[in-house]
Amino acid sequence: MAVSAHEALEEAERLLNQARNLSQRVAGFSKKLTSEGDALADEVSILSKSVDRQLEGAAKRLSADDPDWLDALQALETARSVVKGSGPGGDLRKYGITRKPAILQLLLGPCSNVVSIRKDQSIQLKEEYHRFRNNSAYIMTAFAGLIQAGLMRAKAKAEAHEAFTLTPLLIVGCQFFLCWLLYFYTASAMRESVLKVNGSHIRPWWIHHHYWSIGTAMLMLSLPVDSPSVARSVQTFLWWAILQGAVIVMQNRYQRRRMYTRIALGKSSAMDVVGGETSASTGQLWVLYPMLFALQGLQSVIGFQMVSSNAWAFLSPEGYLDLETKESDLWGSRGVALAGLMMLFMALQNFRGTLASIVGKARAKEKAIARISVLRQKSVASPHKGDTPLSPLREEDGKDKSAVQAAAAAAAAVRAGQPLGDLAAPAAAAATAAAGAPKRRRSGHDSGAARKKASSSKERREDEFGNTVSWRPKASGAVLARIARANGGHRLMLLARKPLRPLGAEGGAAEEFAVYGATGNAYTVTIGRQPSCTCPDAAKGNICKHVLFVLLRVLHMSPEEPLVWQKALLSSEVDEILGGQKSLPRTLGGGEVLAPEAVREQYRRRTSLGGGEGAGEGEEGVPLRRSAEGADCPICYEGLDASEKISFCATCGNNCHASCIGEWVKKRRREGAQPTCPLCRAAWVDGAAPAGAAAGAGEEYINLADAAGAPVPTLEDLYGDRALWIHAHQGDIPRGVAANIWRNMGH
């Protein structure tokens, strides 16, 4: 169809106006970006200085044994980590960076800007660096290995006076390998400098190390290829290159998995890269450290050999002011000696950096142990308001009759409708007296006799199916301590009750109870032939306090009844236990057993919908889930891959790695805080888990602390000094260190 000149002119004018409007929008956006960027840079600078100043003052107060400053110190350290990149905005300091690394100024100029404002582009820079480093490690190992094998073959053929040694081609290959090393170290220095500008925490020496490596490679390239000194040094240098490639491969393969966990725990930022020994787990360090020390040792040996065998060349005056003779090898020897000095210096600095990392890890561990001790002292000095005092019963006091009688008297008062407060003091006094009694160290004969007596006290009986069921006539000290916690020591409440099998059914009756735990988590207790619970304590094979709570306070059993501490029951015994109560109890002796209606309603809502509330629910009551395609995990800021296990918040519907949110939840619980969604800050409920499956998995639990309106107690609040062993079991501190602290506490 023909277009007239008038129509073409109108179309051209329309496009011209559109281009001008778009240009004005871009100019406005650029101006806005510049002004807001300058304002953000000023705010970041002021905030960083304020945090550092306050942090220094809080650290001095804490070092002066003032535990009240610990909360302020932890908050300030969290603020500093957010500024350095652990927050959703990444490293805030990059907005105020004016001085660029030396290699960027040298190759790109002082006015070059390599800061990436978009987070996804920054993450792509890091991932591209990991791919480059991984591919280069394989190339380094293969390239150096092939040349080394060729040189060994050529040497064997030369000694056998055979032809076709291919020595000239191997010499050219060595030159190509040195050229490739020059490219590798230059590219690594530039990439790491760009990452450092964009928020990666890379030690300065690991970048400066590349500068020295560039100088060494350039020096080796300038040496004569027919020099005997160069030929000897190249073969040992290739062995070092092979080992270096193997170390880099191990770092990339194993440490990147650990990096996800470190980012989830807040120990590393989303822009941190794998390198050196900064991110390996304990088991991997046993392999990584020997390889690093072997690499540094080999590098120092090679450097020492290169210096010691060629240092004589510096003493000769020939070749400094005039050209050396044709037969002389002074230039090759002097160059090899200089390269050896460089390798010795790099080996020393690498060893120093590795030791600094080891010392840093040890100091961080000591710092964590000291803070746990301060938290314990603080919890003892000022317990949480509204918390019920803990029973001082200890495991060693299990056989003390007065403590058992005091606990039994408290239970009798509960059944009679009397308040527990009148009997709390006698029970505590009895347990304290038992704890203060002198202990006699048993000899080996006494211990063996005690164990024999204990084993003989376990009777055996048979059920209706002919199976052997053990019988424990006495409760251990650990069970007595848990009885004290279940009988009012810890705040436990009943959420729901559901029959599983009726009385007289084949296999015995069974009922399921939902229990509100002391930390706000909901656990499922099953009373049947083998009483069980979904809490971590029961998962270790113990009779947990939640099972004892159901037996003692819901089903009104006496704490002196041996059926309470049996791990297995007969069908007739289960019918006897479950046959007495058919309705939910309201109160027992002034102690609330049934949870408030708001808490029970919240529990029913979450279990029936699979978790979730508010904006995360669809029209049919099913939690909405946002698309994970192209999204990033809000914890580690890595991309979400369909091949990985992904969880999502039942409240806001945002996705995250299941491993990341698992570490986040564990960390929050260790700190005694409520696990929340990293984005919407609502109580975390995994929308990907089916109803009731979270608790049963032993990893994620429905937490109802917000609905209960009660503060979440810490481990020190709940277990006192014994919280030290829980920290050790969770891996916060080594067990040996916990044992030393326990002895120093006078136990």
Sheet holding 510-516, edge to edge: 493-501, 510-516, 522-527, 532-533
Taking the C-alpha atoms of residue 739 and residue 724, their distance in angstroms, rounded to an integer, is 9
Least confident of 76-80, 337-341, 378-382, 564-568: 378-382
Q: Which has more confidence, 134 or 470? A: 134
Angle, helices 228-250 vs 204-222, to 10°: value is 150
3-state secondary structure of 315: helix
Q: Would you place residue 365 in the very low, low, confident or very high pLDDT band (cuts 50, 70, 90)?
A: confident
- The pLDDT value given to residue 338: 92
Residue 540 domain flag:
yes
Residue 443 domain flag:
no
Q: Return the closest-CA partner of residue 727 out of 685, 689, 664, 670.
A: 670
Q: Which residue has the tokens 């005039």?
A: 322
| Residue 375 · residue 324 · CB < 8 Å | no
Q: Which residues, 6+ apart, have CB-to-CB distance to 484 below 8 Å?
A: 391, 393, 407, 427, 431
Taking the C-alpha atoms of residue 377 and residue 724, their distance in angstroms, rounded to an integer, is 12
Residue-wise pLDDT tens digits, 149-198: 999 998 888 888 888 888 889 999 999 999 999 999 999 999 988 888 88
pLDDT higher than 70, residue 554: yes
Residue type, 334: R
Q: Tell me the CB-side half-sphere exposure of residue 276, using CA atoms within 13 A.
A: 22
Residue 683 domain flag:
yes
3-state secondary structure of 514: strand
| Residue 611 · residue 686 · CB < 8 Å | yes
Phi then psi for residue 669, to 5 deg, are -70, -35
| Mean pLDDT, rounded, for 13-23 | 90
> What residues pair up with 514 in beta bridges, in sequence order?
496, 524
- The pLDDT value given to residue 389: 37
Q: Return the closest-CA partner of residue 352 out of 209, 200, 214.
A: 209
Taking the C-alpha atoms of residue 101 and residue 200, their distance in angstroms, rounded to an integer, is 13
Residue type, 429: A
Taking the C-alpha atoms of residue 553 and residue 411, their distance in angstroms, rounded to an integer, is 9
Angle, helices 330-381 vs 204-222, to 10°: value is 170
Q: Would you place residue 215 in the very low, low, confident or very high pLDDT band (cuts 50, 70, 90)?
A: very high
Tell me the DSSP string of 598-636: HHHHHHHHHHHHTS--GGGB-TTSPBP----TT-B-TTT
Q: Which residue has the tokens 């020190």?
A: 716
| In a shared domain, residues 471 and 497 | yes
| Residue 728 · residue 394 · CB < 8 Å | no
**CA angle at 52 for the pair 49 and 55, rounded to the nearest 5°:** 145
Residue 442 gets which letter from DSSP?
Answer: P
| In a shared domain, residues 407 and 290 | no
From residue 650, give the alpha-carbon distance in Å to each of 138, 614, 676, 679: 43, 9, 11, 12
| In a shared domain, residues 109 and 193 | yes
| Mean pLDDT, rounded, for 369-385 | 60
- The pLDDT value given to residue 265: 56
Q: Would you place residue 395 in the very low, low, confident or very high pLDDT band (cuts 50, 70, 90)?
A: very low
CATH number of the domain at 663, please.
3.30.40.10
> What six digits make up the tokens of 590?
């002034």
| In a shared domain, residues 25 and 113 | no
Residue 439 domain flag:
no
| Residue 611 · residue 703 · CB < 8 Å | no
| Residue 420 · residue 410 · CB < 8 Å | yes
The rounded radius of gyration (Å) of the Cα atoms in the chain is 35
| In a shared domain, residues 62 and 153 | no
| In a shared domain, residues 488 and 349 | no
Residue 745 domain flag:
no
pLDDT higher than 70, residue 377: no
Q: Return the closest-CA partner of residue 657 out of 678, 680, 672, 674.
A: 678
Q: What percent of the chain has pLDDT over 90?
A: 11
> What residues pair up with 582 in beta bridges, in sequence order?
none
| Mean pLDDT, rounded, for 126-153 | 90
- The pLDDT value given to residue 399: 37
pLDDT higher than 50, residue 585: no
| Mean pLDDT, rounded, for 128-144 | 90
Phi then psi for residue 462, to 5 deg, are -120, 140
Sign of CA dihedral 271, 274, 279, 281: positive
Q: Which residues, 6+ apart, have CB-to-CB distance to 722 below 8 Å?
A: 394
Residue type, 152: M
Residue 741 domain flag:
no
For the chain, the domain total comes to 4
Residue 557 gets which letter from DSSP?
Answer: -
- The pLDDT value given to residue 279: 42
Taking the C-alpha atoms of residue 60 and residue 39, their distance in angstroms, rounded to an integer, is 32
| In a shared domain, residues 671 and 543 | no
Phi then psi for residue 179, to 5 deg, are -65, -40
Residue 697 domain flag:
yes
**CA angle at 644 for the pair 642 and 648, rounded to the nearest 5°:** 80
| In a shared domain, residues 35 and 68 | yes
Taking the C-alpha atoms of residue 726 and residue 733, their distance in angstroms, rounded to an integer, is 10
Q: Which residue has the tokens 């960083």?
A: 48
| In a shared domain, residues 207 and 182 | yes
Residue 747 domain flag:
no
- The pLDDT value given to residue 176: 94
| Residue 201 · residue 334 · CB < 8 Å | no
- The pLDDT value given to residue 366: 79
| In a shared domain, residues 58 and 181 | no
Residue-wise pLDDT tens digits, 89-118: 777 777 776 677 888 888 888 777 788 777
Residue-wise pLDDT tens digits, 614-673: 334 443 334 456 677 778 888 877 788 777 788 888 777 788 888 888 888 887 777 766
- Averaged confidence pLDDT in the chain: 74
- The pLDDT value given to residue 459: 61
The domain in which residue 530 lies consists of 395-434+458-595
Q: Return the closest-CA partner of residue 526 out of 509, 540, 542, 541.
A: 509
Q: Which has more confidence, 344 or 49? A: 344
> What six digits make up the tokens of 249?
């491969």
CB atoms within 10 A of CB 649: 29
| Mean pLDDT, rounded, for 229-251 | 87
pTM: 0.51
| In a shared domain, residues 537 and 678 | no
Taking the C-alpha atoms of residue 552 and residue 494, their distance in angstroms, rounded to an integer, is 12
pLDDT higher than 70, residue 418: no
Residue-wise pLDDT tens digits, 308-324: 888 888 888 777 766 77
| In a shared domain, residues 239 and 345 | yes
